[in-house]
Amino acid sequence: MKTVAVIVEDGFAPFEFGVACEAFGLDRSADGVPNFDFRVVTPDPGVVPSRMGFSLNVHNDLSYAYEADLVVVSPTPKEMWGRSDPRVLEVIRDAERRGAWLLSVCSGAFILANAGVLAGRRATTHWMYADVMTDMFPDIEVDPDVLYVQDGKIITSAGTAAGLDACLHLLRQEVGPEAANTIARRMVVAPQRDGGQAQFINKPLPEVASLSLAPVTDWMLQNLRLDLHVDELAAKAHMSPRTFARRFKADLGATPAAWLARQRLLHAQRLLEKTTLGLDRIAYECGFGSAAVLRQNFVRTLGLTPTAYRDRFRCTTDTPAEVSLDATIDITAMAEPTPVV
């Protein structure tokens, strides 16, 4: 992915627009992150008013969007949901036909729906508008309970901050998790919130464990290679297994098993990017136990084999020494897969 176009129209939402600018528009090459040719486009170049009483002076028409690898759609006012600009709809249809990425933030999903590219697909939007979308577009499987949904090369996200999660999810696929994490650190946001996490949750920052769980999650991250079970983790937290599982999901938005599986996969991605370790060794380090189990998890979650992932995202300027590993590990001990919690 090299080129990004963000479409704005009259009444655009500043925050959601800013999400795309922050994720794709800044020069972070000094941090080793690829630059994108980023442009803001609109059907009629000139002054484009926002919904917050100020305007943008946009110089680019929609022609650039016809060439972009990613087209981002910002929300428009409710009264526009059923009557989007035909020129914008054609850009969206063209992007879908030629296999470009499409990403909507919050109610921008209604514009994708108007273009017809979500028909027969799963999608999401802000939970407040999910019922409206379902009524207007019954051929879309609207999921109101997630942060974002990827169906093919179309990503729809829930309200406001969930747009950042969706952008980081896409960046992880296109530039790799290491670069995506760098971008997240620059934005001072959690590097990973899974799309299946609930939109409406009890705690505002579900990626940050409570003080009572932080020592346990830190220990889990330092011991991914071990056979970890809920009973053991609950004991470390001085809780019953049932209380621990409930508190864990409330704090982090996922079960201990799902969170652990994700952390193991992220660590495997980093080792594939940053080291020359063999697949058996990486599987052991990450708690998968065998290269076969590692491959199964990669294909199921990322749609790539570990070897294909390494070929695509290898960091050629980095050395294996940058990743700290125990050099005394007995490779012959890696016989059986390590179960996930």
Would you list the domain boundaries of the chain?
A: 3-187, 205-341
Average pLDDT (230-251) is 90
Q: Which fold has domain 3-187?
A: Rossmann fold (3.40.50)
Provide the CB-side half-sphere exposure for 168 (13 A, CA): 25
Average pLDDT (15-30) is 92
pLDDT at 214 (0 to 100): 83
Architecture of domain 205-341: Orthogonal Bundle (1.10)
Assigned token pair, 261: 């599986």
Give the number of residues written for the chain: 341
Q: Are 283 and 334 in contact (CB under 8 A)?
A: yes
Whole-structure pTM over 0.75, yes or no? no
Only one residue has tokens 């486009």, namely 41
Average pLDDT (187-212) is 50
Only one residue has tokens 């680019």, namely 60
CA–CA separation, 284 and 19 (whole Å):
38
Identical fold for domains 3-187 and 205-341, yes or no, is no
pLDDT at 266 (0 to 100): 86
